[in-house]
């Protein structure tokens, strides 16, 4: 087994790793760090929870120590791009932790907060800049920072950045970074647009891939309860009453859904907060801090907001609504199995979500156990559907991300929003013959 001491990291970096209590590198660290120290480009397929932040931060800091730690005003040597403010904040925190025995200034910039403080913070320059693409581009356009000194460019959660529509910003940013650089691209999934991106911006990259999507799912004890949409809240309350639920992350598919669940839970005196894209930065940070400290043990989140959240001790992930993409499910339940620990996930599946459950089981190659009804809810739980029953994909365009479509409040196939077949038929314009018959009837 590899130890951190075998990896040839600079002693100042190693000291911080030891201070963190890390002994053995995680698989992605063991695979990636030697190549990154050789300054190779890298394409990493890994999710949060695998230790990927240290996999790119440690060799990056090693380079900074070796290369001398001078910095020029309004510039940075390392640029890390991340899709969300939460993830950017977490990456910056990791860089600060791992660089505490060296002279390294890490700055973070993201949208949703006033820009002036960020402009001032960048004036003296930094070694590591962690940014979300939109705000960074604003700052570059305003002349608050230049990217001409970037030696290492890291794109984290690239699939999420593309999902969020950042591709044009990414292109503009990369065009301002010198061609002579080391580039690292991390993504949880490898769709074609990511391999195109890698082809365009990476030079002869090493490819490392860890924890194929199915293995993360296997570490989590997964269960499902079949229940009608209208009864989900009651079941959720019962599940949260279980004293084993220390800290629960509850997923809905939409921001509106998250707010609604929080409202209903609060009305029943459950301490719950929501985190999603419509919340201000300070509301999000406050909710996260309360959840981290244990003051609020229920966090209701949408997929985008929760992605990349690194909180230890989430005992349960509850899918109040099923995601319509299997990868999203894997990301969700992965929030509870951090750094090799186990966790429990419970999915509340309504009839119109059965297709998604089947799709998830096929992708992860794990059959999710049907759980017994929570006490007092026996009447509410639906019978287990016959596994041979053919379920059709709910109507709606195929989408990679779980985000709702523009113009539809809850997105395709959203629970409670689905229009039944009979209704759809009845809404259809009647045929020519039918219209003639109707006219004749009306005349008569
Ligand atoms: P990440 O995938 O980067 O979000 O990391 C997930 C969690 O694993 C973080 O809380 C890290 O502090 C922790 N971690 C990273 N590397 C190691 C390691 N080698 N040993 C123990 N914990 C680690």
pLDDT (tens digit per residue) in 328-358: 888 888 888 765 567 899 999 999 999 999 9
pLDDT digits (tens, 9 = 90+) for 248-269: 999 999 889 999 999 999 999 9
**36-40, 81-85, 189-193, 198-202: segment of lowest average pLDDT:** 189-193
- Reported as a pLDDT band with limits 50, 70 and 90, residue 189 is confident
| Distance in Å, CA 54 to ligand 1 centroid | 7
Pick the closest to residue 126 from 114, 111, 139, 141 (CA basis).
Answer: 139
Q: Which residue shows structure tokens 């929080």?
A: 262
Query: Is residue 216 within 6 Å of ligand 1 at its C-beta?
Result: no
| Distance in Å, CA 219 to ligand 1 centroid | 16
Query: Is residue 90 within 6 Å of ligand 1 at its C-beta?
Result: no
- Reported as a pLDDT band with limits 50, 70 and 90, residue 434 is low
Query: Is residue 50 within 6 Å of ligand 1 at its C-beta?
Result: yes
HSE value, Cβ hemisphere, 13 Å, CA-based, for 9: 31
* CA nearest ligand 1 atom 1, residue: 51
d(CA 312, CA 208): 25
Best mutation site among 26, 27, 82, 157 for ligand 1 pocket (most ligand atoms within 8 Å of CB): 26
| Distance in Å, CA 52 to ligand 1 centroid | 7
* CA nearest ligand 1 atom 20, residue: 22
Q: Which residue shows structure tokens 């990636």?
A: 32
| Distance in Å, CA 50 to ligand 1 centroid | 7
* CATH class for the region spanning 220-380: alpha beta
pLDDT of 235 over the 90 cut: yes
Using the atom order of ligand 1, give the atom closest to the CA of residue 4.
Answer: 19
What pLDDT score was predicted for residue 308?
A: 60
What pLDDT score was predicted for residue 437?
A: 63
**174-188, 253-267, 376-390, 429-443: segment of lowest average pLDDT:** 429-443
| CATH topology identical between 4-209 and 220-380 | yes
pLDDT of 397 over the 50 cut: no
Best mutation site among 6, 7, 9, 54 for ligand 1 pocket (most ligand atoms within 8 Å of CB): 54
What pLDDT score was predicted for residue 222?
A: 93
Query: Is residue 48 within 6 Å of ligand 1 at its C-beta?
Result: yes
Query: Is residue 75 within 6 Å of ligand 1 at its C-beta?
Result: no
What pLDDT score was predicted for residue 137?
A: 97
Mean pLDDT for the stretch of residues 211-237: 82
| Distance in Å, CA 418 to ligand 1 centroid | 40
Boundaries of every domain in the chain: 4-209, 220-380
What pLDDT score was predicted for residue 393?
A: 79
Domain 4-209: give its CATH code. Answer: 3.40.50.300
What pLDDT score was predicted for residue 429?
A: 52
Mean pLDDT for the stretch of residues 197-212: 89
Mean pLDDT for the stretch of residues 203-215: 77
Phi, psi of 224 (to 5 degrees): -135, 145
């Amino acid at each position: 087994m590899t130890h951190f001491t075998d990896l040839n990291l600079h002693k100042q970096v190693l000291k911080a790793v030891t201070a963190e209590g890390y002994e053995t590198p995680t698989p992605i660290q063991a695979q990636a760090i030697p190549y990154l120290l050789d300054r190779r480009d890298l394409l990493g397929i890994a999710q949060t929870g695998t230790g990927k932040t240290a996999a790119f931060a440690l060799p990056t800091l090693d380079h900074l120590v070796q290369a001398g730690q001078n910095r020029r005003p309004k510039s940075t040597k390392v640029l890390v791009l991340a899709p969300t403010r939460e993830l950017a904040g977490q990456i910056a925190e990791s860089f600060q932790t791992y660089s505490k025995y060296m002279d390294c200034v890490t700055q973070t910039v993201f949208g949703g907060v006033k820009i002036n403080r960020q402009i001032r913070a960048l004036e003296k320059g930094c070694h590591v800049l962690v940014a979300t693409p939109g705000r960074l581009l604003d700052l570059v356009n305003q002349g608050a920072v230049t990217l001409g000194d970037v030696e290492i460019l890291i794109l984290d959660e690239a699939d999420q950045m593309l999902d969020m529509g950042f591709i044009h910003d990414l292109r503009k940013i990369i065009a301002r970074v010198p061609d002579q650089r080391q580039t690292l691209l991390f993504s949880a999934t490898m769709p074609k647009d990511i391999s195109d991106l890698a082809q365009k911006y990476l030079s002869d990259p090493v490819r490392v891939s860890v924890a194929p999507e199915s293995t993360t799912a296997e570490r989590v004890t997964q269960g499902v309860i079949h229940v009608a949409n209208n009864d989900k809240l009651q079941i959720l309350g019962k599940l949260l009453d279980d004293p084993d639920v220390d800290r629960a992350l509850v997923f809905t598919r939409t921001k509106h859904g998250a707010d609604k669940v929080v409202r209903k839970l609060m009305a029943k005196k459950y301490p719950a907060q929501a985190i999603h894209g419509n919340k201000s930065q300070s509301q999000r940070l406050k909710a996260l801090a309360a959840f981290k400290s244990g003051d609020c043990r229920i966090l209701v989140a949408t997929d985008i907001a929760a992605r990349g959240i690194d909180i230890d001790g989430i005992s349960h992930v509850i899918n109040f609504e099923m995601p319509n993409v299997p990868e999203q499910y894997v990301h969700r339940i992965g929030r509870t199995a951090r750094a090799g620990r186990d966790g429990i996930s419970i999915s509340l599946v309504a009839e119109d979500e059965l297709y998604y459950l089947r799709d998830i089981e096929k992708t992860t190659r794990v059959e999710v156990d049907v759980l017994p009804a929570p006490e007092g809810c026996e009447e509410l739980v639906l019978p287990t559907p016959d596994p041979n029953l053919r379920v059709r994909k709910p109507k709606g365009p195929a989408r990679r991300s779980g985000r709702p479509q523009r113009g539809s409040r809850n997105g395709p196939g959203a629970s409670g929003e689905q229009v039944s077949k009979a209704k759809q038929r009845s809404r259809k314009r009647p045929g020519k013959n039918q219209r003639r018959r109707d006219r004749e009837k009306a005349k008569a």
